[in-house]
Chain A
Amino acid sequence: MDTALIPKGVKRCPMWQFLLGLGIVGAVLLWGVYAMLLCWFKGLNQTNMNDYYGFALWIWADLAVIALGGGAFFSGLLRYIIGKDELKHIINYAVLIGFICYSSALLILAIDIGQPLRGWFIFWHANVHSMLTEVAFCLSCYFAVLTIEYIPLILENRQLDKVPFFHNLSHNMHEIMAVFAATGAFLSFFHQGSLGGVAGVLFGRPFAFREGLLIWPWTFFLFTWSAAAYGPCFTLLITWITEKVTRKKLVKDNVIELLAKISGWMIFTYTIAKICDTTRWANITAPGLGQNLADFYTGNAFYGYWILFAEIVLGGVVPAIILISAGLRKHPTWRVVAFFLGVMGVSLNRWVMVLQVMAVPILPFDTWALYYPSWQEVATTLLPVAYGIILIMISYRYLPIFPQEAELNPIEEETSTAVEAHTKSAPDLEPAKA
């Protein structure tokens, strides 16, 4: 039915199966959209946020998806600037995941603010001293870069590519993609960092506050670093999930192992830095403000020392060790466990830096503020997930996302035509000509 749109040389599931899947995820999407409209029209009273908990579930989701979407900028950096050429086989997917993460982040921000119609004030009346301003600018600009990186992929759809203008546009964009990738890396460095700065500059909150370099608290660098470290983990995890769902091998192991190894070393170095930061904070920064670890991790029903352990050891040390040791890395199961732990670790870090920051009492006579999200918050947080799955489904079906797919999954019947199609469409599948 839609065979004309499906890339040559690959096989896709029947239409009904595709539509059924789309329908199920679409239902979740609609639920999320309904919740989003409630938040817009009835206001943020639809959430369980409160004056102590001004940042809540979806801001965590926001920070988490941006960290996880870091795979796009870091893979781009490695591919286009550092010149790790093998990564061209996964860069498309990294870009797509990044695009999903960043568009979701922007959508979440649009739901989160009390006056969405005035959201553009953040640009218009920008306060350059605010980390959030930096976030907003770099986030929007980098989203533009991701869009630019994603457009050629769309234009490579079999039908669109037939339009000469689109073909040329796509070609030209590939030609100068390194420039965009470099700009993207620059922007990412700052907005990932600024997101870390968002918590780190809060000198009114000893739990979040960190000293730093010039105007940037240490969390600035830690966030950039962790996004670069864990972003590829997420790209690889999603790739693995996609392979499981499609029951196909989509990316060759050498590509995956290369990215996993880089990610592993990044996580390793990041974790060392994080441990140094935590040690300094626990022994110097916080006590200097009259507080110690017990104030942050005891006296409430949820936040205990376990979260520190889970973040740094389970989400840092363990995946780092797995990914940097060749034996474990080459083992598919261990590798996936590491990806999973890594994704959990960075998500937990963002959780701690948003939600626990809000929960810890600061005034000595105040109490912990624990919060649980309302269904509207859960729905709006699931909305981007559903949206992401749908975009992946559509993109995977109609765009040549995985350059190695056809090679790894030769279509056995009609061998002659397939081979012909394969050779013929090979240039179409070539994603990037740097």
Chain B
Amino acid sequence: MFPFSFEWLWDAGHIVFHGGLWYALNIIGIGMTYCIIKAVIDTSKGKGGHGHH
């Protein structure tokens, strides 16, 4: 999973596979981080809740 595990090789298989994997993980991670941070900001601005929007 990480380049420091002993079975890691810098070959096409690892680059393509883990490239795709980390790409997907990053999108998910960044997307969720964005949502959470934005929600915190929105909340602090007093948006949302109790149907007042």
User: Do chains A and B make direct contact within the complex (CB under 8 angstroms)?
Assistant: yes
Q: Tell me if B1 and A123 are in contact (CB < 8 A).
A: yes
> Given the complex, which residues of A lie within 8 Å of B1, measured CB to CB?
123-126
Q: Mark B2-36, 1 if CB is under 8 A from A, else 0.
A: 00010100000110011011001101100110111
A230 touches B (CB below 8 Å): no
Number of interface residues of B (CB under 8 A): 29
A179 touches B (CB below 8 Å): yes
> Given the complex, which residues of A lie within 8 Å of B13, measured CB to CB?
128-129
Q: Tell me if A134 and B17 are in contact (CB < 8 A).
A: yes
> Given the complex, which residues of A lie within 8 Å of B20, measured CB to CB?
190
Q: How far is the CB of A423 from chain B (nearest CB, A)?
A: 12
Given A124-B1, A180-B28; A172-B39 close (CB under 8 Å): yes
> Given the complex, which residues of B lie within 8 Å of A180, measured CB to CB?
28, 31
Q: How far is the CB of B33 from chain A (nearest CB, A)?
A: 11
Q: Tell me if B28 and A148 are in contact (CB < 8 A).
A: yes
Q: Tell me if A168 and B5 are in contact (CB < 8 A).
A: no
For the complex, give the distance between the alpha carbons of A428 and B51 in Å.
9
Q: Tell me if A172 and B38 are in contact (CB < 8 A).
A: yes
Q: How far is the CB of B53 from chain A (nearest CB, A)?
A: 8
Interface of A, secondary structure class, is helix
Q: Tell me if B49 and A162 are in contact (CB < 8 A).
A: yes
For the complex, give the distance between the alpha carbons of A123 and B21 in Å.
11
A164 touches B (CB below 8 Å): yes
Given A125-B7, A164-B48; A187-B39 close (CB under 8 Å): no
For the complex, give the distance between the alpha carbons of A148 and B36 in Å.
12
Q: Tell me if A169 and B49 are in contact (CB < 8 A).
A: no
Given A125-B7, A129-B13; A168-B39 close (CB under 8 Å): yes
Q: Among the interface residues B1, B20, B36, B43, which one has the most CB atoms of the partner chain A within 10 A? A: B1
Q: Restricting to A86-121, which residues have a CB under 8 Å from any CB of B?
A: none
For the complex, give the distance between the alpha carbons of A393 and B42 in Å.
33
A173 touches B (CB below 8 Å): yes
Interface of B, secondary structure class, is helix
Q: Mark A252-263, 1 if CB is under 8 A from B, else 0.
A: 000000000000
For the complex, give the distance between the alpha carbons of A113 and B1 in Å.
20
Q: How far is the CB of B47 from chain A (nearest CB, A)?
A: 6
For the complex, give the distance between the alpha carbons of A190 and B20 in Å.
10
Across the interface, A172 reaches (CB within 8 A) one of B17, B21, B34, B50, namely B34
Across the interface, A176 reaches (CB within 8 A) one of B5, B17, B34, B48, namely B34
A249 touches B (CB below 8 Å): no
A298 touches B (CB below 8 Å): no
Q: Restricting to A155-181, which residues have a CB under 8 Å from any CB of B?
A: 161-169, 171-173, 175-176, 179-180
For the complex, give the distance between the alpha carbons of A162 and B21 in Å.
36
For the complex, give the distance between the alpha carbons of A187 and B5 in Å.
24
Q: Tell me if B24 and A168 are in contact (CB < 8 A).
A: no
Q: Tell me if B25 and A167 are in contact (CB < 8 A).
A: no
> Given the complex, which residues of B lie within 8 Å of A137, measured CB to CB?
21
> Given the complex, which residues of A lie within 8 Å of B38, measured CB to CB?
168, 172
Q: How far is the CB of B5 from chain A (nearest CB, A)?
A: 6
Across the interface, B18 reaches (CB within 8 A) one of A128, A141, A173, namely A128
> Given the complex, which residues of A lie within 8 Å of B36, measured CB to CB?
169
Given A141-B24, A172-B38, A186-B24; A162-B31 close (CB under 8 Å): no
Given A128-B17, A134-B17, A141-B28; A168-B50 close (CB under 8 Å): no
For the complex, give the distance between the alpha carbons of A408 and B5 in Å.
57
Q: Tell me if B49 and A176 are in contact (CB < 8 A).
A: no
Closest 10 CB pairs of A and B: A164-B49, A167-B48, A169-B39, A168-B39, A168-B42, A128-B17, A164-B48, A172-B35, A168-B48, A165-B43
Query: 6 interchain pairs (CB within 8 A)?
Result: A128-B13, A164-B43, A164-B48, A172-B34, A172-B38, A187-B24
For the A-B complex with A134-B17, A165-B43 known, give 18 more contacts whose Cβ atoms are closer than 8 Å: A125-B1, A126-B18, A141-B21, A141-B25, A141-B28, A144-B28, A148-B32, A164-B43, A168-B39, A168-B43, A168-B48, A171-B39, A171-B42, A171-B48, A172-B42, A173-B35, A183-B28, A190-B20
